[in-house]
């Protein structure tokens, strides 16, 4: 289970970021999105989506073991164990963990809203 990224297909619309925040925070503010689109412009002119692949680096780095893996492979933050130290945000290799209210980090939980709205084939749900 993963989000398959085809960077060549991405047109940089950021609808994925928009829907992510609408879904997870009930807000319109793409800066809180749990994925990001890197724009390499003016040269070579490419968009590169960065998404969570549930690599577990965040869980490994967490000093309080507040990030645990579910049976389906998704890593989840347990807010009650989190001290908001921010280490997980720093170590995320894709740079897709974000601070939420009270500095508690949020991460992708494979809700698939981004793959549902992506109309270019750049983000595709793969079981």
The least CB distance from residue 33 to other proteins, in Å, is: 12
Residue 59: CB minimum distance to other proteins, A:
28
6 binds other proteins (CB under 8 A): no
Q: Is 22 in the site for other proteins (CB under 8 A)?
A: yes
Residue 103 binds other proteins (CB under 8 A) = no
Q: Note whether 117 and 19 are within 8 A (CB).
A: yes
Q: Is 63 in the site for other proteins (CB under 8 A)?
A: no
- Nearest approach in angstroms of CB 78 to other proteins is 25
Q: Is the dihedral of CA 117, 120, 28, 89 positive or negative?
A: positive
CB of 127 within 8 A of CB of 1? yes
- β-sheet bridge partners, residue 50: 36
Question: What residues between 77 and 96 interact with other proteins by CB under 8 A?
Answer: none
Contact between 101 and other proteins by CB under 8 A: the answer reads no
Q: Figure out which of the listed residues 1, 4, 6, 11 binds other proteins, where binding follows CB under 8 A.
A: 11
Please name the residue ranges forming H helices in the chain. 15-25, 57-61, 87-91, 113-117
Of 98, 91, 6, 108, nearest to 47 by C-alpha is 6
Q: Contact residues for other proteins (CB under 8 A)?
A: 8, 10-15, 18-19, 22-23, 25-32, 39, 41-47, 116-120
């Amino acid at each position: 289970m993963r989000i398959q990224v085809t960077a060549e297909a991405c047109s940089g619309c950021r609808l994925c970021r928009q829907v992510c925040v609408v879904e997870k925070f009930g807000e319109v503010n793409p800066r809180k999105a749990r994925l990001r689109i890197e724009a390499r412009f003016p040269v070579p002119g490419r968009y590169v989506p960065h998404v969570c692949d549930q690599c577990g680096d965040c869980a490994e780095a967490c000093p309080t073991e507040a990030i645990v893996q579910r049976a389906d492979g998704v890593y989840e933050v347990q807010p009650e164990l989190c001290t908001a130290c921010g280490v997980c945000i720093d170590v995320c290799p894709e740079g897709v963990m974000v601070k939420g209210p009270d500095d508690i980090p949020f991460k992708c939980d494979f809700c698939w809203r981004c793959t549902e709205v992506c109309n270019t084939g750049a983000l595709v749900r793969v079981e």
